[in-house]
């Protein structure tokens, strides 16, 4: 079905320094309001795709189209205003409090201070960190999971229609992770962004993505709903599914 693609990659090729050819013909079409999870092994080019979407990198060949316009034609500032980016390493500014970190983009956009304060409180509440408790803390006074939530709050602060999330729930214990997954689904049901979330964990991709794309050998090997992808026989997809089946088998044995 040809609906309004919010983000589209068409025949994208990209080489990166010593790594050589990383993307070799990536095609990907993401609808407005959809959550697509991208999965692939380390070094497959997942972060590279996010950087292409927000214009940090440009394709050697092919097109990256956001809202109908090639990223080469976007003014970089205008493009990034439309995109909230949760970095792979969180990247909170250590010398800024939680509230100041979250308000970074609204401040850049010149919002008035009262509006920024109100919005910071709102997005902190959305990610389950009440401002009264957390606003004045420093990043080093937070747990890893709390820092990751601040990263998500910061990406949401200016209410961008597109959200790029690079392993946002990376190094977390499984319980906290599952909790953040539930929170993500609740937030997404409320705010309905176009989301691209990168992870190397198929379980996480299944939990969060309306569609899951597998990146392998420089291209999208397969992209489908979790239920369909789980039945994939593609040799580039199967190895990524194995840990899920092993976990399922263990549970089965216990029962």
What residues line the site for ligand ATP (CB under 6 A)? 16-17, 19, 22, 40, 42-48, 88, 200
101 belongs to the binding site for Mg ion (CB under 5 A): no
Q: Measured from the CB of residue 28, what is the shortest distance to ligand ATP in angstroms?
A: 14
Q: How many residues bind Mg ion (CB under 5 A)?
A: 1
Say whether residue 48 binds Mg ion (CB under 5 A). no
Reported as type and span, the H/E element at residue 213 is strand 211-216
Which one-letter DSSP state was computed for residue 122?
H
CB 220, min distance to ligand ATP, A: 13
Residue 50 C-beta: closest distance to ligand ATP, Å: 8
Helices vs strands, H then E, count in the chain: 11, 10
CA 109 → CA 113, 144, 191, 199, 241, distances in Å? 11, 28, 21, 30, 43
Residue 128 vs 209, nearer CB to Mg ion: 209
Enumerate residues 199-228 that contact Mg ion by CB under 5 A: none
CB of 158 to ligand ATP, least distance (A): 25
Closest Cα to residue 199, out of 53, 84, 41, 90?
A: 41
DSSP string, 127-193: TT--HHHHTT--GGGS-HHHHHHHHHHHHHTT--SEEEEESTTTT--HHHHHHHHHHHHHHHHHH--
Q: Which is nearer to Mg ion, 47 or 54 (CB)?
A: 47
Q: Which of 47, 71, 194, 199 binds Mg ion (CB under 5 A)?
A: 47
Which of the choices Mg ion, ligand ATP, none does residue 16 contact, using the CB cut-off of 5 to 8 A by kind? ligand ATP
Nearer to Mg ion, 47 or 97 (CB): 47
In the bound complex, what is the minimum distance in angstroms from residue 218's beta carbon to Mg ion?
15
Measured between its terminal Cα atoms, the distance across the chain in Å is 42
Q: How far is the CB of 20 from ligand ATP (least distance, A)?
A: 8
Query: Residue 72, exposed/middle/buried by CB under 10 A (0-12, 13-18, 19+)?
Result: exposed
Q: Which stretch binds Mg ion (CB under 5 A): 42-50, 55-63, 96-104, 106-114?
A: 42-50
Say which entry of ligand ATP, Mg ion, none residue 168 contacts (CB below 5 to 8 A, set by partner kind): none
Q: Measured between alpha carbons, how far is residue 233 from residues 154, 185, 201, 237, 243 in Å?
A: 39, 29, 18, 7, 15
Q: Which chain residues interact with Mg ion by CB under 5 A?
A: 47
């Amino acid at each position: 079905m040809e609906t309004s693609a919010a983000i589209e990659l068409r025949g994208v090729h990209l080489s990166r320094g010593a790594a050589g050819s990383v993307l070799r013909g990536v095609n990907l079409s993401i609808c407005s309001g959809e959550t697509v999870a991208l999965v692939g092994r380390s070094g497959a080019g997942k972060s590279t795709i996010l950087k292409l979407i927000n214009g940090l990198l440009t394709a050697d060949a092919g097109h990256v189209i956001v809202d109908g316009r090639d990223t080469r034609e976007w003014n970089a500032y205008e493009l990034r205003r439309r995109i909230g980016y949760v970095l792979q390493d969180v990247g909170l500014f250590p010398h800024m409090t939680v509230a100041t970190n979250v308000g970074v983009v609204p401040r850049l956009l010149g919002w008035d201070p009262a509006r920024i304060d109100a919005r910071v409180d709102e997005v902190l509440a959305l990610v389950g960190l009440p401002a009264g408790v957390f606003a004045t803390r420093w990043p080093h006074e937070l747990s890893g999971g709390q820092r990751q939530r601040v990263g998500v709050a910061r990406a949401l602060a200016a209410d961008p229609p597109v959200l790029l999330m690079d392993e946002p729930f990376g190094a977390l214990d499984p319980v906290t992770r599952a909790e953040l997954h539930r929170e993500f689904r609740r937030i997404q049901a409320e705010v309905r962004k176009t989301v691209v979330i990168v992870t190397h964990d198929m379980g996480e991709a299944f939990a969060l993505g309306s569609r899951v794309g597998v990146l392998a050998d420089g291209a999208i090997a397969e992209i489908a709903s979790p239920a369909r992808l789980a039945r994939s026989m593609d040799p580039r997809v199967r190895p990524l599914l194995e840990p899920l089946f092993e976990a399922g088998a263990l549970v089965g044995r216990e029962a």
